[in-house]
Amino acid sequence: MINWYEEVNRRKEDLLQDLDGLLRIPSVKNLETSGPGAPMGKEIGRALGYMLDLSAQHGFRTANLDGYVGYAELGGSAEDGYIAVLGHLDVVAATGNWTSPPYEPTIRDGKLHARGAIDDKGPTLAAYYGLKIVKELGLPLKHNVRFIFGTDEESGSRCMARYRQTEKLPIAGFTPDADYPIVHAEKGQINTRVMLERSVEHAPVGLEGKWYLHSFFGGGTANMVPESARAIIAGEAGSLGELAAEYTAYCESRGRRGISRIEAGQIILEMEGKAAHGMEPQLGVNAALELIHFLAPLSFQPDAERFLHCVETYLFEDYAGVALGIANEDEISGALTINSGILQFEPEGESFFYINLRYPVTDEASRILDTITKQVGKYGFAMEPPLLKKGHHVAKDHPMIGILQQIYQDTTGLVPTLLSTGGGTYAYHIGNGVAFGPLFPGKTSLAHQADEYIEVEDLLLSAAMYARAIYELANADYDK
């Protein structure tokens, strides 16, 4: 019997050295430096070249598809179909305050710190070394294995769109880019702006409503819970102080941090919330909705009131779409979630709220869109053409699922529960694809944050599981 962990440990220093070289490349998408063979920018092109050169040195067959995506292939099987492992080489920008430089990999207390350490260069190298071990042991493969290196996972997956143009999809595969045990379902997504249609006549200041909303803005990223919001309001000078006092009392009653200041006959109200990913809006505090909850009972000009009342009615403290009439859930992927990450009101400009919605795999986007259109229409809003992504899931009785569950249980002793996510991975693009690690249950992920890291022991343990998974998946039988 093969001791997969022992095989990984023999190659530990080589793995860490190769990973160090990859992590030192600041492969953030930059179209200003794009060119032939590097459509996502010079540095991403350099990262792809690094992995393809490494693969060629290790004896794999390699291919580069116009710089969008590349792959390394193992096996000489004549069987129709192949197994895929997918990792991405692009990373998000290294913002924030880092203890050590983000592109100078540093090990502290058993943790390898660098941008991309856990998302997704570290897991990619762990899985790549799994394939390398299978090759070096000379193990027989019923199906060929193709390791696909993507370059645009963080901002649109144009790499996989290019791959699908010319390449046949695999019969099964996994990406090491989520959580353990196994993420076998990804919710569908709807992203769109809901625009306020203007009144025929615009009410002058002071003629309608006690207050005049000059502007409102909250958020800035559609798939994040807004952590700040701001409103600028005009009114009678003698009333501004009273409004400031009311706002202070409101913030105290809600346990929120808000400030107000009076300048040039206007009051500026600011609200602080808590950011969270749009797929889990319940984990954050939406600063924009908290501020609107304060403003909605006040008297404003008609367009402002329609804006405030619509948002208050359908979005405040409702992450499941109950008020909109779209709430739904299933056993495969859980409950629908809705987040509004950008909200804006300008009397003479665009006024809208952005919808970032994740719906169960058994639901239909058409049902949701029709219902939202009817509801927001009551307040004079219209929806822009949405960006849609269908849900994805692999049935629990698929041969791949059982193999990965057994590997996880044998390695960790933990129950191999099937998971779902509101996010998206490369698994979506290959049909029978799942996400397998690298984050173990109970562990914290600093992906996309300062001081991102992966625990070295988790990296090695993952590599061992990936090696076994590649070998067993490549020798399994699949329905044609």
Name the residue with higher pLDDT: 78 or 381. 381
What three-state secondary structure class fits 298? coil
The per-residue pLDDT for range 395-446, each reduced to its tens digit, is: 999 999 999 999 999 999 999 999 999 888 999 999 899 999 999 999 998 8
CATH architecture label of 188-389 = 2-Layer Sandwich (3.30)
Gap between the Cα atoms of 54 and 19, Å rounded: 11
pTM above 0.95, yes or no: no
DSSP 29-56: --GGG-BTTBTT-HHHHHHHHHHHHHHH
Cβ contact 48:110 at 8 Å: no
Taking alpha carbons only, the member of 222, 319, 230, 215 closest to residue 273 is 230
Nearest Cα to Cα of residue 244 among 230, 255, 258: 258
Whether the pLDDT of residue 63 is over 80: the answer is: yes
Are 110 and 455 in contact by the 8 Å Cβ rule? The answer is yes
Residue 205 pLDDT greater than 50, yes or no? no
> In the structure, what pLDDT confidence band is assigned to residue 203 with cuts at 50, 70 and 90?
very low
Taking only the tens place, the pLDDT of each residue in 211-220 is 999 999 999 8
Mean pLDDT of the chain: 94
Task: Specify whether the CB–CB gap between 167 and 150 falls below 8 A.
Answer: no
| Residue whose tokens read 């499941």 | 320
Q: Find out if CATH 3.30.365.10 is the number for domain 4-185+392-474.
A: no
The answer to whether 287 and 272 are in contact (CB under 8 A) is yes
Position 264 confidence tier, pLDDT thresholds 50, 70, 90 = confident
Q: DSSP string of 134-203?
A: HHHTT---SSEEEEEEES-GGGT-HHHHHHHHHSPPPSEEEESSEESSEEEEE-EEEEEEEEEPPPSSPP
Q: pLDDT over 90 for what percent of the chain?
A: 88
What integer is the mean pLDDT of 236-253?
A: 93
pLDDT of residue 202: 40
β partners of residue 228: 272
Give pLDDT tens digits for 154-191. Answer: 988 999 999 999 999 999 999 999 999 999 999 999 99
Residues recognised as catalytic: 90, 153
C-alpha Rg value of the chain to the nearest Å? 26
Sequence ranges of the chain with CATH classification 3.30.70.360: 188-389
Over residues 359-402, the pLDDT tens digits come to 999 999 999 999 999 999 999 999 999 999 999 999 999 999 99
- Mean of the pLDDT values across residues 113-133? 97
Q: Judge whether residue 336 has pLDDT over 50.
A: yes
Q: Where in the chain is the domain with CATH 3.40.630.10?
A: 4-185+392-474
